A = this chain, B = another copy of it.
Amino acid sequence: MKFVHTMFITGILGTAVLSMSSVQGDPLPYKPPIPADNPQTVAKIELGKTLFFDPRLSSTGTVSCNSCHNVMAGGEDNRPNSMGVHGKTGGRSAPTVWNSAFLTVQFWDGRAPSLEAQAKGPVTNPIEMGMKDWDTVIQRLEKISGYEPLFQAAFSGPNPITADNAAKAIAAYERTLITHGSPYDRFQRGEETALTEQQVEGLETFIKIGCFACHYGPNFSGPSMQNQMGKGWFQKFPTIPGSPYETQYKLLDDKGRYEVTGEEMDKHVWRVPTLRNVALTAPYFHNGAVPTLEEAVRVMAKTQLGRDLKDSDVQNLVAFLNALTGEFPKQTMPLLPATPGKSMTAE
């Protein structure tokens, strides 16, 4: 946690320009936290990838996990809100699946304590994948003969085709979706020229004005250590009320975590999202109402820090945020198991 430490010192001293050494933070770890009850195996990851890309996990056979969390496109769908079965849309924007293994809780409102718990949600959400219930999902998977050996290889014991195992496999695949090698990571691993001067200035501004207070840690989403998993890292948004952005971007229409807990203190409270690959995940915020990263930076500065940023600060911050775009490992496409001679979806 050198990063936070340095920053607090910086804040106290009010230093305007930081030296290279003082912006030292943590690069993304090579491995994410792995739950003790769901170890990574090749067979499980392969099954998980297959399920992740299989549109038959939706009632219409048209929506897979990848439809909204598109691993080929920054890990989400670049839409204000996602489009589920029958063209239905909800009020929230799909978060990226890349590096989600480093988030301590899942969903915008943090209602899932793990990737395993998250994986079960969208499948039976009527406006997302629209399956009636997980029993129906399992019945469908059981009818696809090619899934049996994949589940057998990934999980021991009789009747391995279960909702828990499907969720475990999907989570195991998602834990492989990590982007290393961003300019920021290379910088933090000692390659001092990996960031441009403007990006370093942006990083300094990011620290100085206080963005780091929430977006810290190697995933820029708060604590991501093993012992924090499931606990979450939340912030109120907007923190400072009364900005014109509230009505312009309908920031108060959704009560966030309050919808889960019913606690007054959770009104408009949200999980702090990662900033990794943020340049690839427009439009922004829980409702996807803000179309550009520039504007997102202005909105954050105003609503969270009470600042009206200069244009140059916005440009520098955006340049820095672009330095958080990592390298996306090449992946092979799964071959979805068939149901020879039969169709599966009726809707």
* Cβ contact within 8 Å between A61 and B79: yes
The yes or no answer to A132 lying at the interface (CB within 8 A) is no
Please measure, in the bound complex, the distance between the C-alpha atom of A53 and the C-alpha atom of B66, giving whole angstroms: 12
Contact B343 A72 (CB under 8 A): no
Q: Interface SS of chain A: helix, strand, loop or mixed?
A: loop
A318–B343 Cα gap in the complex (Å)? Answer: 15
Q: How many copies does the complex hold?
A: 2
Q: How many residues of A contact B (CB 8 A)?
A: 51
CB distance from A145 to the nearest CB of B (A): 12
Establish whether residues A293 and B341, one from each chain, have CB atoms under 8 Å apart when the complex forms.
yes
Which of A85-93, A107-115, A159-167, A237-245 lines the interface with chain B?
A: A85-93
Query: Of residues 307 to 329 in A, which have CB atoms within 8 Å of B's CB atoms?
Result: 318, 321-322, 325, 328
Residue of B72, B282, B334 near A335 (CB, 8 A) is B72
Instruction: Check A280 for interface membership: any CB of B closer than 8 A.
Output: yes
Tell me, yes or no, whether A67 is within 8 Å of chain B by CB.
Answer: yes
> Which chain B residue shows the least CB distance to A331?
B333
* Residue among A53, A54, A70, A291 with max Cβ neighbours from chain B (10 Å): A70
With A and B bound together, what is the CA distance between A227 and B241 in angstroms? 71
Q: CA–CA, A340 to B325, complex, Å?
A: 9
Q: Is the CB of B282 within 8 A of A342?
A: yes
Contact between chains at A343 and B83 (CB < 8 Å): no
The 8 closest A-B pairs by CB, nearest first: A87-B87, A293-B341, A86-B87, A283-B343, A279-B340, A282-B343, A73-B336, A62-B83
